[in-house]
Amino acid sequence: MKKYIFFLSIAALGFSACEKDYLETEPQAEVSTATIVGSADNAELAINGICRLMTKQYLHSQGYNGEGTIKLYYGNYPGNDTQKCNNTGFLNTINGTYHTSKTSTQVTFPWYYYYKLVSNANAVICNSENMSGTAADIAFVKAQALTFRAFCFEQLAQLYGYRWSDSNNGATEGIVLRIDQSTGDYPRATLGQTYEQIYSDLDEAITLFKQSGKDRGSDEFYKPNINCAYAVYARAAQNREDWANAAKYAALAREGYPLMSNSDYFAGWNTPNSEWIWGVYEGQEQTLYYYSLYAYCGSNGSSGNCRQYPMAISKDLLVQIPESDVRRQLFLIPTDDELAECNAAGRSTKKLYKRAFADYAEYIYSTSLIYAYMQFKFRAAFMPGGGSFPIFRTAEMYYTEAEADYHLNKISEAQQLLYEVNKERDPELVKTTKTGQDLLDEIRLYRRFDLWGEGYDWFDYKRWGLPIVRRSYAEGGSWHSSFAKTIQPADLNKWTWVLPQYETDYNKAIDGQSED
């Protein structure tokens, strides 16, 4: 990545007790933001800076690294299908007990992180009219900034808003829609207004991308382009249950991004391939070391978090996938004899341990602990756990379109999409003939399996309004007994994160929320 500029980064929410510090901004080198972003060339550096903010150390605590943290702490850990084996130190995160604690760092982080990105995007958007440069260059960087803002608003809406089915058609509270450079009090929009703004930003971004006639560089997978805008649109429409737009934009998003080969699927997920529509870049020259995503989920990572607490798939998901599906090979599936010698948490020191190092030695660090159903899908490109990772990929768009077509009563189209996205992974797969709820369940099943570990788990279960059901080994499942529980859709404030106290203390236009 090139060198980068950060503009009006929101001050360190959670680092200071002073309310006045929360949204204070300071132009770099005492030069106004309008001057800094006075040219399209500088705005391009600013876009690159926002990309860099997606993989950066935050909160001076290992694990808070930007987009990777959202995937792990908010998408995977509290979900139904992804277990961090015996990592009981994360009990509250995994069991979702932080949602209503307004002073919790985990309540605070996404709000702080995404509004940091938004404030930088706003610096580009709000000063675009006075930029020097060609019309094409200005249109392109503004479109990228609008795509960033829409993406951030969508992520915030998923976390801090109710699922659409519980929103009274969007009447419940959404987020704070800061679309200018002001830092004062700002009211909270409804969820409906939030999605209206997301759609508006994306409509404008798509128009500007087309007007510019430009695209990102061939190696700039970490920067937004028109396909990224389409992908954000598809995800937003899906979460809003706007099925026509979800299907439309999912199809557009995957144009020019063919599904990866099986070889690429087994390559460790740390290097971009044909399917990555948008990703996060991390190279050895800018590594986050022990803050990196793969220092927490890489099966071969040298960090203690990888070696002691490998990530594993839920047995209850895995057993529903045919044995002919090659993706099953990325998980350590025990035989009955091997499972019998594992302890109550699934750890092996005997038969399964030996087979793991015999069959998967290149995917495991030499001193890693071995657990039943541990994964080898995600691997570090360099130690202790570095590597790039996708935000959107083509498979997600297939499943989004299939789910949307189901709801639009386009059953044959949904069946075909489900077949197309999975046929290379399973040589014995035949096109499903299921209809009704059975077809919807099949789409959901393969989405869960194909996108496993990529940060969709909890978010999907929330929008589906389905209970999380985890069974322990004693119950026939594969979860540590501390995590084996059922979490109903109505629990934990309907899985909705309360606004952080730092925001409600600072922003007097918001009444705030009390802990439940």
Mean pLDDT computed over 68-92: 97
Is residue 271 very low, low, confident or very high in pLDDT (cuts 50, 70, 90)? very high
What percent of the chain is modeled with pLDDT above 70?
Answer: 93
Q: Are 186 and 509 in contact (CB under 8 A)?
A: yes
User: What pLDDT does 286 receive?
Assistant: 84
CA distance 52 to 54: 5
Average pLDDT over all residues of the chain: 93
The verdict on 70 and 204 lying in the same domain is: yes
User: What pLDDT does 51 receive?
Assistant: 97
Q: Domain count of the chain?
A: 2
User: What pLDDT does 19 receive?
Assistant: 37
> Which pTM was predicted?
0.94
The verdict on 46 and 193 lying in the same domain is: yes
The verdict on 172 and 75 lying in the same domain is: yes
Domain end (from 321, 354, 371): 371
Is residue 1 very low, low, confident or very high in pLDDT (cuts 50, 70, 90)? low
User: What pLDDT does 29 receive?
Assistant: 38
Domain end (from 327, 352, 371): 371
DSSP 181-232: S--S--PPPBHHHHHHHHHHHHHHHHHHHHHHT----TT-TTS--HHHHHHH
The verdict on 205 and 291 lying in the same domain is: no
CA distance 479 to 346: 8
What percent of the chain is modeled with pLDDT above 90?
Answer: 90
The verdict on 306 and 194 lying in the same domain is: no
pLDDT tops 60 at residue 24? no
The verdict on 65 and 165 lying in the same domain is: yes
pLDDT tops 90 at residue 112? yes
In a domain, 257, yes or no: no
In a domain, 273, yes or no: no
pLDDT tops 60 at residue 22? no
CA distance 308 to 207: 49
pLDDT tops 70 at residue 16? no
Beta bridge partners of 331: 375
pLDDT tops 70 at residue 329? yes
In a domain, 465, yes or no: no
Beta bridge partners of 173: 190
In a domain, 455, yes or no: no
DSSP 297-348: H-TT--SHHHHHS--EE-HHHHTTS-TT-GGGGGB-PPPHHHHHTS-TTSEE
User: What pLDDT does 36 receive?
Assistant: 81
Closest CA to 504 of 162, 102, 157: 102
pLDDT digits (tens, 9 = 90+) for 353-377: 999 999 999 999 999 999 999 999 9
User: What pLDDT does 335 receive?
Assistant: 98
CA distance 167 to 402: 24
Mean pLDDT computed over 297-318: 97
In a domain, 60, yes or no: yes
Q: Are 406 and 414 in contact (CB under 8 A)?
A: yes
Q: What are phi and psi of 273, to 5 degrees?
A: -135, -170
User: What pLDDT does 348 receive?
Assistant: 98
The verdict on 207 and 289 lying in the same domain is: no
User: What pLDDT does 227 receive?
Assistant: 99
Looking at per-residue pLDDT, the higher value among 301 and 511 belongs to 301
The verdict on 140 and 49 lying in the same domain is: yes
The verdict on 27 and 122 lying in the same domain is: yes
Domain range for 71? 19-214+498-504
Is residue 117 very low, low, confident or very high in pLDDT (cuts 50, 70, 90)? very high
The verdict on 206 and 291 lying in the same domain is: no
pLDDT digits (tens, 9 = 90+) for 447-458: 999 999 999 999
Q: Are 181 and 33 in contact (CB under 8 A)?
A: yes
Q: Are 338 and 299 in contact (CB under 8 A)?
A: no
CATH number, residue 143: 1.25.40.390
pLDDT tops 80 at residue 196? yes
In a domain, 389, yes or no: no
Domain end (from 356, 371, 386): 371
pLDDT tops 70 at residue 510? yes
In a domain, 515, yes or no: no
In a domain, 294, yes or no: yes
CA distance 211 to 409: 35
| 62 SS3 class | coil
Mean pLDDT computed over 23-30: 39
pLDDT tops 60 at residue 8? no
User: What pLDDT does 516 receive?
Assistant: 40
User: What pLDDT does 512 receive?
Assistant: 54
Mean pLDDT computed over 307-317: 98
Query: How many Å separate Cα 145 from the centre of its chain?
Result: 19
pLDDT digits (tens, 9 = 90+) for 119-174: 999 999 999 999 999 999 999 999 999 999 999 999 999 999 999 999 999 999 99
The verdict on 156 and 38 lying in the same domain is: yes
pLDDT digits (tens, 9 = 90+) for 33-71: 877 889 999 999 999 999 999 999 998 777 899 999 999
The verdict on 53 and 197 lying in the same domain is: yes
User: What pLDDT does 31 receive?
Assistant: 56
